[in-house]
Structure formats: structure tokens, C-alpha cells
Amino acid sequence: MKKKLLSVLLTGAMAASMFVGCGTSTATTDNAGADTAATTTDDAGGSTAAGGTKVGVSMPTKDLQRWNQDGANMQKELEAAGYEVDLQYASNDVQTQVSQIENMINSGSNVLVIAAIEGSSLGEAMDMAKEKNIPVIAYDRLIMNSDAVSYYATFDNYKVGQVQGQYIIDQLDLDNTDKTFTMEITAGDPGDNNAGFFYDGAMDLLKPYIEKGTIEVKSGQVDFADVATAAWATETAQSRMENILSSKYANDDLNICLCSNDSTALGVENALAANYKGEYPIVTGQDCDIENTKNMIAGKQSMSVFKDTRTLASQVVKMVGQILNGEKVDVNDEKTYDNGKGVVPSFLCEPVFADKDNYKELLIDSGYYTEDQLK
């Protein structure tokens, strides 16, 4: 019986990963734009293959393109592998996410996959999962201060920052210059454990140039706490940058905008469009969101880090199958991600550099976007 289940699961998982490899469309399946529950019921015999096994998938918000893609990919792949899926979005509201997870537990989810809004605020729901022996996979963002987290699947977050930092060093040839370049930093949400990794990855490379005077941050805002953006909000990044531009760059060029992700980069790009007359700076980002990729093509954003959500979804589906079958779970990092209760065994996917020269191959040829989506 178990063998049969395993083979069905593996076939499903293989089919799902082949599907992904063929570059299926990842258009978001946002229904009516609402950020509320979209409980997915099992159709076409899905529950029979994996024996009525239910996977609860908790995503932070529908406001950002990537989470819609993550949710849709997970749902498609988990269903293809024969699971019933309960997919919920929490409107970036911690209490909503906690109640949704509690509902998933009460309605019989066998495994939980959670992308936390705030890594440290899921305590109660995690205790409940632990009590009921429900394994939890932290998705993309680590869940902090809980020993209920079984595994973590994400991209190499430190490397994301390093790719951004190295891009700046290479573009301006910082090792062979006696010029001084101005830079402003826009980082992510302090409640998201990833944000610190992105910032550290980039700043570990760039700080030596600040110390040497090759880079100058005119606002004086360098520490993470001073450059963080609550909830990764575009508007917050925009208004902060508008202030900095009018107070520090009315008569001077701003050469570099290190932005941790695309939603903050978009805010910075809006501020530049509204308030800045100097030479256009290098702007970094992450996610290859559609708006940002369009800006990249138009020369308003220099690069983004591409994290193929299809890869992460496939990895998590594989982990779910391995957990449910009592197999060894595929991890490739057992030292980096300590959530305060111990190191969580992790699988880190590779982030890739994207710019206007390679976006076609990465994003269109691979089927991530259609050409029309980027027009």
C-alpha cells in the first residue's frame, strides 16, 4: 500500500516537475482581486491518489505579484501530485494568517507550508501544529522562535544580496577608480528574516567601499534599521526616497540605489521620476516582477534577481512527499538558518542575475512570462 502510494506520489511529482520544466504559464490565478480565502477543493480525483492527504498553504498577501505566483504554482503542483490543497492569502495581516493556519489545522491538514508575514508572530499557531504533530515547512521566509518548524525551503537569500552588491561593483569598476559615487540604500521589512540576509549579502561587499570613500551615502542612513521598509511597501520606499532626493540630491547626482527587492525598487523609481533631474542611477531589485521587468527594458531599473518560483514550488512539493512517506528529506544547508530554537534544515535554491540583456532567455524562453505580459 505504502509502496503504491509512494509510486503514485513520485509519478505525480515527476509529472509536476516535467510540467514545470516545460515552462508552464504562471499567470496569477487571483480571483476577483480579493485577498481573502480561496479554499481550493480537490477536483478530478485528486484526493484518491495521495489518499485524501491535505496540504495547507498559507501565503502572506495577494498584493505582491510573486506570492500569487508562488501560491498558484504550489497549488498546481500539489494537486498534480494528488493532494488536496487549502490555499489561503492573509492580506498581510498577522492575525488573519494565524487564524487561517489554525483553521487549516482544525480542518485536517496533514502538512503545512507557510510563508510568514512576520516570522516571529506565529507562535500560537505553531504550538497548535506541534501538539497535533503536523509537520511545518517554512516557505521562502523562516518562521522564528519555534521548534515546530520541520524544514525550510527558500532561495539563497544572502546570495541574492551578494549578486546585487557585486553588480554595483562591476558596473562602476569600483576597484579601479578614484572617483566617489553616491549611493542610497533601501532595504526590506524588519519583520521578515530574509530582509537582513539580503542587506548583509550586499553590504558585506559594499561597506569596504564606503569605508574607503569610494561610495558616499549622503543621507547618512546606512544601518539596516535606518533603511528598512515596513511591509516592503512601495509607497513607503517612494516617500522616503522623495525626501532624500529633495534634501540631498537637488544639486548632486545620485549614482547608486541599492534596493533589496522589486517592490521597494518601484518606489525608488517613482521617486526618481517625480523628483530627480540628475543622471539616472544604477537601481537594483529582486523578483523580476512584471512592472520592474518593464522598467528594466525601458532603462529605469538596471537589474533584478530572478528567483524562479516554479523551482521553489517543485522543491516544496518534493519535500511534502518525502515527509509524508517517511523518507529522507532533501536539504542542502544545515547551518545557515537558526530560528532562535535551533538550526532548521533547509533547501536553498539558486537565485540568478537578470538584466535587459538576458531577460528574454530567462523569463520568456523559459515560459515564465509571455512577451505580451512585458509590453
**Which parts of this chain interact with ligand BGC (CB under 6 A)?**
64, 66, 140-141, 192, 194, 232, 261, 263, 286-287, 307
Q: Which three cell numbers stand for residue 275?
A: 523628483
Name the grid cell of 136.
511545518
State the CB neighbour count (10 A cutoff) for residue 335: 8
- Nearest CA-CA partner of 205 in 244, 266, 256: 256
215 or 228: CB nearest ligand BGC: 228
CB of 140 to ligand BGC, least distance (A): 5
Query: Are residues 193 and 142 in contact, defined by beta-carbon separation less than 8 angstroms?
Result: yes
Cβ contacts of residue 170 below 8 Å, gap of 6+? none
Nearest distance, CB of residue 171 and ligand BGC, angstroms: 22
- Beta carbon nearer to ligand BGC, 214 or 314: 314
> Where are any strands of DSSP class E within 296-345?
303-306
Nearer to ligand BGC, 9 or 296 (CB): 296
Q: Report helix, strand or coil for 204.
A: helix
Write down the least CB distance from residue 232 to ligand BGC, Å. Answer: 4
| Nearest to ligand BGC of 182, 293 (CB atom) | 293
Q: Report in angstroms how near the CB of residue 330 gets to ligand BGC at its nearest.
A: 20
Tell me 119's DSSP state.
T
Q: At what angle do helices 2-21 and 65-80 cross, to 10 degrees?
A: 140
CB of 88 to ligand BGC, least distance (A): 17
Q: Indicate the residue among 182 and 236 with the shorter CB distance to ligand BGC.
A: 236
Q: In this structure, are residues 60 and 116 in contact, taking their beta carbons and an 8 Å threshold? A: yes
Which phi and psi angles does 338 have, rounded to 5°?
Answer: -95, 125
Give the CA radius of gyration of the chain.
21
* Backbone dihedral angles phi then psi of residue 51, each to the nearest 5 degrees: 65, 40
Amino acid identity for residue 189 in this structure? D
Beta pairing partners, 155: 349
CB nearer ligand BGC, residue 62 or residue 66: 66
Q: What 3-state class would DSSP assign to 114?
A: strand
Q: Which residue is nearest to ligand BGC (CB)?
A: 261
Which C-beta is closer to ligand BGC: that of 219 or that of 286? 286
CB atoms within 10 A of CB 78: 30
Q: Distance between CA 295 and CA 297 in Å, rounded?
A: 5
Nearer to ligand BGC, 46 or 161 (CB): 161
Residue recorded with cell 569598476: 173
How far is residue 317 CA from its own chain's centroid?
A: 17
Shortest distance, position 263 Cβ to ligand BGC, whole Å: 6
**Residue 122 in grid coordinates:** 506565529
Least distance in angstroms from the C-beta of 15 to ligand BGC: 27
Minimum CB distance to ligand BGC smaller for 110 or for 260 = 260
DSSP symbol at 174: G
Nearer to ligand BGC (CB atom), residue 185 or residue 245: 185
